[in-house]
Amino acid sequence: MHMADALLAPAVAATMYVASGSAAGVSIHQLRKDDEPGKLPTMAVTAALVFAGQMINYTIPGTGSSGHMCGGMLLSALLGPQAGFLSMIVILAIQCLFFADGGLLALGANVWNMAFYGCFVGYYLIWRPIMRSHLFGQGRGAQRGRIVLASILGCVITLQLGAFSVVLETSLSGITDLPFGAFAALMLPIHLAIGLVEGLITSAVLLFVFESRPELLQCVDVPEGEGSKRSLKAVIAVLAVVALVVGGGLSLLASSNPDGLEWALFGNSEAGYAENMGLDEEDFGVASTAADKAGQIQEATSFLPDYALPDNDSPAGTSLSGVVGSVMVAGVAVLICLAGGFFRKKRAK
Amino acid sequence: MIEFQNVSFAYDKGSPVIRDLSFRVEDGQSVGLIGANGAGKSTVMKLLLGLLTGEGKILVDGLEVRKENLFQIRRKLGFVLQNSDNQMFMPTVYEDMIFAPLNYGLSRPEAEARVDRALGLLGLEELKHRHNHKLSGGEKRMAAIATILAMEPEAILMDEPTAALDPYNRRIVINIIRGLSQTKIITSHDLDMILDTCDRVILLSHGELVADGPADAILRDKALLERNRMELPLRFSGK
Amino acid sequence: MNKMETALHELSQMDELAAQSSPIHRLHPAAKLLTTIVYIVLTVSFPKYALSGLIPMVLWPVLLFQISAIPVRTCFYKLRIVLPLVMAVGLFNPFFDRAPLLSLGALTVSGGVVSMVTLMLKGLFCLMASFLLMATTPIDSLCSALRKLHMPGLIVTLLLLTYRYVGVMTEELAIMTDAYLLRAPGQKGIHISAWGSFLGQLLLRSMDRAQELYGSMLLRGYHEHFHYAEAGPFRLRDGLYTLGCGLVFLLLRFVPVTRLLGSLFVR
């Protein structure tokens, strides 16, 4: 779900920077007030762990494909929303700086889409209320159930919010001609499936922590004694079945390529998306029937007005002189390269 | 001077890890702290550094190890961790080395001078600007020792300084340790190394002091070592 | 190589590049950061059909690649992450926007094609710019620049520490993954029975590690403030570089350079 710089207009990117920056400012303020100097190394090590953990392939039973974890919910359940949010910012920053995943300009938007919802919405509206409730009754078994429920709900809802924001930000930036409705209809269902898988992975990790060191989790009372003996496996099984039913057959669509944004747009030929959208990674844009079909889809679904074509006098306009000029610029670029190579060789001698 | 007076420690409600431990280390001594796994060696180190708090009294240069004295006491003690990755938390060796001097209030030029001095002492100048995560195991250990030397502490504590090193690097580290003039307390299972670097040995078992005396005497006592789940150093075990 | 090993390799590659020396490497990190941001913002701000206006923006990264002697290949390897995304979004444009925008003899180019190419070039240019920033600036210099630009210390310190432990954690998980797969032949990933414990085990160990790390910080006098390597003074040269680059970018952004150049030869 990492957006690239090119997908955002500067105004949208700046707005998202302000929004994410304010959330970060409030978080820093809160953490300073809490004054727990020992939290900093814990945040760093946990963030590094989540960074690496995102690369683990989790096999989804019965599908032959694999799922991944993004980690917003996990971090806020372990560190609390503020520390989790800041850790997530740092993870996204490292991904963008060293791995070109996302972009410098898009960082604000990425933080908002992936960290803000996962940490703040996920914590205050889902994790904390569920963990403090008496759902499933008392005792350890009930607590396990609440952890699973909160993880799955949290991941699904925050991923939906994130995916919706991606659609909104891209559309507001005026980058794509893909109608808003069609774009959303592509992104949301796929992220529902991804959210479910992520929720199951997150709950599995949190349950493991709960069994060994429950005091590490936020809003979890360290249980005394066993309480009601509900089998953990039963709780997971019930919830997993419910979740899978809710998600429909969508989890079956989960491909080995888990990034829904790419997946949504390139389509998955097995799943029939490629046919629907007339797109395939190998031969995109070749079939004209597909183009026709896409045009029909647009007529049927479009509710954004067509962009007016610029006339030739606008600075943006392209003309013959523009083309010739571009060729010359390319020539200059080649010259720079040749000169650079020449001087380097000279220096090497 | 480091002194333990009737120190006991237990993790909350568990059975005691350290029982009524008393000993005294004079300035300039090198003491090997040995014992089987779980004997309490690391706990002794952590108590001395104030990372854990137990019962009894621990004195460093007459100052009691208590919260209000920690800043002063820790300045005197340099601790080389077993896992260098946990010790070296900055991106480069240089930044890691300069961290402590700056925190203890030295000016940047003074701190720089200390870093260069420590690197020079160990002959590690070429490591200065290397990235920590790209050092080999041996280089990492040596850099970790340099990090502590840059603090110019009065006493150096080392937790398994030769663990997981190849024989060549192990020998280098042993020579480095032998060359340090400070008071030293070293915990290790590598008894040959203890023999090379320490003149006195304290043997712990289940948190209690079992033996305390010249290294040469204790490390030759086969019966004593075997009773405490240890073996003679290799050089004494041959015929 | 598993995924984590690839990531480690990429990380150390960036470190090696940043450790080289060139006039660009020697510039103040804050100067490089600022010019990169200005460049990206202006590049992205070109309107969607402004292909000919956008093209001259390529000159800056090309120039930097040459001066800093950073291999272009490493940068293009990273394109595999950015381009699919940008292309995926851009590829719809030729279908939805088919009004002709430009004719060159018999060839008619539609607005959608122009906007698609523009978008892809934007993606490429932005990637090159931020890649060049990181390939010529070590993370510690960047952090000290961020401090100078008044980024809160907590975030900068966290970035520095996390960066350090990303290497350590990724390596541990790489080893664990190999160990797992060696005992689970034919599996592509972690089986559901180990979903929790695989990462969970490492998580618990990491918490202990964090404690030890904190101890190590305390023992070396850590209290509230973190000390950074200083990036050196912001010199006149750095100021001139920032100002010069900024002005050139503005010029390229608002003066139709290509068309002026072209009109010298054709009308």
Pairing relationship of beta strands C107-110 and C100-104 according to DSSP bridges: antiparallel
Verify that C47 and C126 share a domain, yes or no. yes
Chains touching C, CB cut-off 8 Å, 3+ pairs:
A, B
Mean residue pLDDT of chain B comes to: 91
Facing A104 at nearest CB: one of C36, C69, C152: C36
Q: What domain range includes position A326?
A: 5-340
Q: Are residues C61 and C187 in the same domain?
A: no
Distance from B90 to chain C by nearest Cα, in Å?
A: 6
Give the per-residue pLDDT at A308.
34
Q: Is residue A239 part of a domain?
A: yes
Query: Distance between CA atoms of B100 and B78, rounded to whole angstroms?
Result: 10
**Residues in CB range of C219: below 8 A, 6 or more apart:** B49, B51, B74, B77, B78, B79
Q: Is residue C182 part of a domain?
A: yes
The answer to whether residue C264 is domain-embedded is: no
The single residue listed with the structure tokens 């402590």 is: B100
Determine, yes or no, domain membership for A146: yes
pLDDT of B134-168, one tens digit each? 889 889 999 999 999 999 999 999 999 998 899 99
Would residue C53 count as lying in a domain?
yes
C218 with C238, same domain?
A: no
Residues C7 and C118 in one domain: yes
Question: What pLDDT does residue B116 have?
Answer: 94
d(CA C140, CA C160): 7
Whole-number pLDDT of residue C163: 92
Q: Are C142 and C75 in contact (CB under 8 A)?
A: no
In a domain, A348, yes or no: no
Could you tell me if C212 and C238 lie in one domain? no
CA distance A275 to chain C (A): 14
The verdict on a CB contact (< 8 Å) between A175 and C214 is no
Q: Does A42 fall in a domain?
A: yes
Residue A227: phi and psi, rounded to 5, are 70, -150
- Does C158 have pLDDT greater than 90? yes
Tell me whether residues C215 and B49 touch, CB distance under 8 A: yes
- The answer, for A61 touching chain C at a CB cutoff of 8 Å, is yes
What is the pLDDT, as a whole number, of residue A242? 57
Task: Compare CB distances from A41 to C82, C203, C213 and report the shortest one's residue.
Answer: C213
My answer on whether C128 and C172 are in the same domain is no
Is residue C267 included in any domain, yes or no?
Answer: no
Tally of domains in chain A: 1
C178 with C254, same domain: the answer is no
Specify the number of domains making up chain C.
Answer: 2
Please indicate, yes or no, whether residues C145 and C125 belong to a single structural domain of this protein: no
pLDDT value for C238 = 93
Residue C117 and residue C24 share a domain: yes
Q: Where are the alpha helices (DSSP H) in chain C?
A: 3-18, 23-26, 29-44, 51-54, 59-68, 72-90, 93-96, 111-136, 139-148, 153-182, 195-219, 236-254, 257-263
Strand partners, A66: A59
pTM: 0.82
CB contact under 8 A, C134 and A97: yes
A99 contact C CB<8A:
yes
Q: Is residue A285 part of a domain?
A: yes
> Comparing C-alpha atoms, which of B94, A121, A324, A100 is closest to residue C257?
A324
C43 belongs to a structural domain: yes
**Residue B6: CB partners within 8 Å, gap ≥ 6?**
B20, B21, B22, B55, B56, B57
pLDDT of residue A82: 94
Q: Is residue C266 part of a domain?
A: no
Range of the domain at C126: 1-138+230-259
d(CA A267, nearest CA chain C) in Å: 10
Q: Please name the residues in contact with B57: beta carbons below 8 A apart, sequence gap of 6 or more.
A: B3, B4, B5, B6, B7, B64
Q: Specify whether C9 is located in the same domain as C86.
A: yes
Model pLDDT for residues C202-229, shown as the tens digit of each residue:
998 888 888 888 888 888 888 767 777 6
Asked if pLDDT for residue C69 goes beyond 50, the answer is yes
| Pick from B75, B86, B129: CB nearest C212 | B86
* pLDDT at res. B201: 96
Q: Are residues C12 and C132 in the same domain?
A: yes
Does C138 lie at the interface with B, CB-CB under 8 angstroms?
yes
Pair C41, C13 in one domain: yes
pLDDT digits (tens, 9 = 90+) for B90-112: 888 998 898 888 888 889 999 99
Chains that touch A (3 or more CB pairs under 8 A): C
Region of B206 (left: φ > 0; alpha: ψ -120 to 50; beta: rest) is left
Of C216, C221, C230, the CB nearest to B104: C221
Record: contact A326-C203, CB cut-off 8 A: no
Q: Do C140 and B95 touch (CB under 8 A)?
A: yes
Q: What is the mean predicted confidence (pLDDT) over B166-194?
A: 93
Within-domain flag for A346: no
Pairwise pLDDT comparison (A317 vs C106), residue with the higher score:
C106
- pLDDT on residue A238: 60
User: Considering the domain boundaries, does residue A345 fall inside one?
Assistant: no
Calculate what percentage of chain B has a pLDDT beyond 70: 99
Chain A (211-230) residues lying within 8 Å, Cβ to Cβ, of chain C: 212-213, 216
ipTM for this prediction: 0.92
Nearest CA in chain C to B80: C216
B194: pLDDT strictly greater than 70? yes
DSSP letters, C99-131, are: -EEEEETTEEEEHHHHHHHHHHHHHHHHHHHHH
Would you say residue C74 lies in a domain? yes
Output the tens digit of pLDDT for each of chain A's 349 residues: 788 888 899 999 999 999 999 999 999 999 989 888 888 999 999 999 999 999 888 888 777 677 888 889 999 999 999 999 999 999 999 999 998 888 899 999 999 999 999 999 999 999 999 988 887 877 788 888 899 999 999 999 999 999 999 999 988 988 777 888 888 888 888 888 889 999 999 999 999 999 888 888 888 876 555 444 444 555 556 666 655 555 544 433 333 344 555 455 544 433 333 333 333 333 333 334 444 444 444 444 433 333 333 343 343 344 677 778 778 888 888 888 888 877 777 776 6
CB of A258 within 8 Å of any CB in chain C? no
| pLDDT score at C221 | 82
Q: CB-based contact (8 Å) between C215 and chain B?
A: yes
Query: Which DSSP string do the residues of A11-34 spell out, in sequence order?
Result: HHHHHHHHHHHHHHHHHHHHHHHH
Which domain CATH number covers A329? 1.10.1760.20
- B90 and C230 within 8 Å at the Cβ level: the answer is no
Q: What is the pLDDT of residue C74?
A: 85
pLDDT confidence of residue A245 = 54
β B30-34/B200-205 pair status: parallel
Residue of A nearest to C83 (CA): A4
Mutate to test the interface with A, among C79, C95, C128 (most CBs of A within 10 A): C95
Best CA proximity match to B52, nearest among B39, B37, B67: B67
Choose the closest CB to C164 out of B75, B91, B108.
Answer: B91
Measured between alpha carbons, how far is A302 from C146 in angstroms, rounded to an integer? 44
Question: C188 vs A91: CB contact, 8 Å cut-off?
Answer: no
Give the torsion sign (CA, A57, A63, A69, A73).
Answer: negative
Q: What pLDDT is recorded for position A250?
A: 41
